[in-house]
Structure 1
Amino acid sequence: MSKQAPAPKSSKLPWILVVVLLVALAGTGIWAWLSRANANPAPEVAADAPVEGASGGKRGPAIYFPLDPAFVVNLADPDSVRYLQADVQLMTRDPATAAAIELHAPAIRNRLLLMFGQHTADQLSQRAAKERLQDSGRDEVRALLKAEGAPAGVEALYFTSFVTQ
């Protein structure tokens, strides 16, 4: 009987080296792609960074202050009962003014309620009249804040809902 030599076991080492080499190549390719993509990133702007204003001065981001709940007033129509319901937000870019708005919100609401109630439904039916009412409201808020010795940097009064009935 002749003894045959055992068959050599196949080594897994070459396969392991091939897999490691492929993983290394793939990693290198991904690294190169990410490096190129991040070489010239877009400039990041912080959310609270001041932005360039139209007049060239630095301006902060808009801060909106909702005057909740919605305003509901009787309008000054002499021959019928008419109502205005409006949601109002004030806009400033000055944090000190935003704090003053919050502090004086009850007085601001009072002034605006009285002002809104002086109009008739016919007066408020046109867009131009609503825009004038916004400007008048903004001016009322500014005047009240100035009278209280507070910063009065209110830039706009916005109607986010406006219903007459």
Structure 2
Amino acid sequence: MSTEPTAKSGSKLPWIIVIVLLLALAGGGGWFWYSSRQAPPPADDAASAEAPAGTRNPAMYFPLDPAFVVNLSDVDSVRYLQADVQLMTRDMPTSEAIELHAPAIRNRLLLLFGQYSADQLTQRSAKERLQEKAREEVQALLKAEGAPSAVEAVYFTSFVTQ
């Protein structure tokens, strides 16, 4: 009788992961649909000539969907990391390179995230270091592919260890 509650509670984790992944996919699909309906900015040379010289291009965010779910390197127990990740750039060619190389970027980040234990990721400073390392991984991959690599930041929009 003691095995029944364990089996029931253990069987909830896959359902929770599936539900979270479906929600992330739905959110990503909604974002993609919404962003594709936006009118592109006019490509008028006169309008771009009027812009002040010191202004920056607007930030473009690229969500890496679905959410990352990774086994952490804890040796005493099985621990997981689930994280929603978005890359930020202000460079259109870099944005296009991110889309083109998204599978390779996801692979690099999965390998990077799996190197950490849950204890290593408890402090804010550790998460910030992980963001920096993730940005460096993405930039290195894009450079290796001969693509523009002006990724300015990696953002965690969700970060759960379990």
> Aligning the two structures, in what range does the TM-score lie when normalised by the shorter sequence?
0.5 to 0.7
Q: Give, as a single letter, the amino acid of the residue that structure 1 aligns with 2:59.
A: A
TM-score, normalised relative to structure 1: 0.67
Q: Give, as a single letter, the amino acid of the residue that structure 2 aligns with 1:119.
A: Y
Report what 2:150 is aligned to.
153
* Dislocated runs of 4+, deviation >6 Å: 46-52
Aligned in 2, Cα 1:158/1:85: closer, same or farther, shift over 3 Å?
A: same
Report what 2:128 is aligned to.
131
Matched residues in 1 for 2:64 and 2:55: separation? Answer: 27
2:133 is aligned with 1:108? no
Q: % of aligned pairs identical?
A: 75
Q: 2:81 aligns with which of 59, 84, 104?
A: 84
Matched residues in 1 for 2:71 and 2:54: separation? Answer: 42
- Count of paired positions: 117
1:22-71 CA-partner distances (Å, limit 9, x unpaired) = xxxxxxxxxxxxxxxxxxxxxxxx7998887xxx8442100000000000
Give the gaps of 5 or more residues in structure 1: 1-45
Q: CA deviation at 1:150?
A: 0.1
Q: Give, as a single letter, the amino acid of the residue that structure 1 aligns with 2:65.
A: D
Q: CA deviation at 1:97?
A: 0.1
Matched residues in 2 for 1:122 and 1:152: separation? Answer: 31
Q: Give, as a single letter, the amino acid of the residue that structure 2 aligns with 1:67.
A: L
Report what 2:159 is aligned to.
162
Matched residues in 1 for 2:99 and 2:54: separation? Answer: 26
Matched residues in 2 for 1:128 and 1:116: separation? Answer: 15
Matched residues in 2 for 1:103 and 1:86: separation? Answer: 21
The alignment yields a C-alpha RMSD, in angstroms, of 2.1
Matched residues in 2 for 1:78 and 1:47: separation? Answer: 55
What SS does the corresponding residue of 2:120 show, helix, strand or coil?
A: coil
Report what 2:116 is aligned to.
119
Greater fraction of residues in helix: 2
Report what 1:99 is aligned to.
96
Q: CA deviation at 1:134?
A: 0.3
Report what 1:60 is aligned to.
57
What SS does the corresponding residue of 1:152 show, helix, strand or coil?
A: coil
Q: Give, as a single letter, the amino acid of the residue that structure 2 aligns with 1:72.
A: V
Q: Give, as a single letter, the amino acid of the residue that structure 1 aligns with 2:94.
A: T
Aligned in 2, Cα 1:129/1:111: closer, same or farther, shift over 3 Å?
A: same
What SS does the corresponding residue of 1:59 show, helix, strand or coil?
A: coil
Report what 1:72 is aligned to.
69
Give the gaps of 5 or more residues in structure 2: 1-40
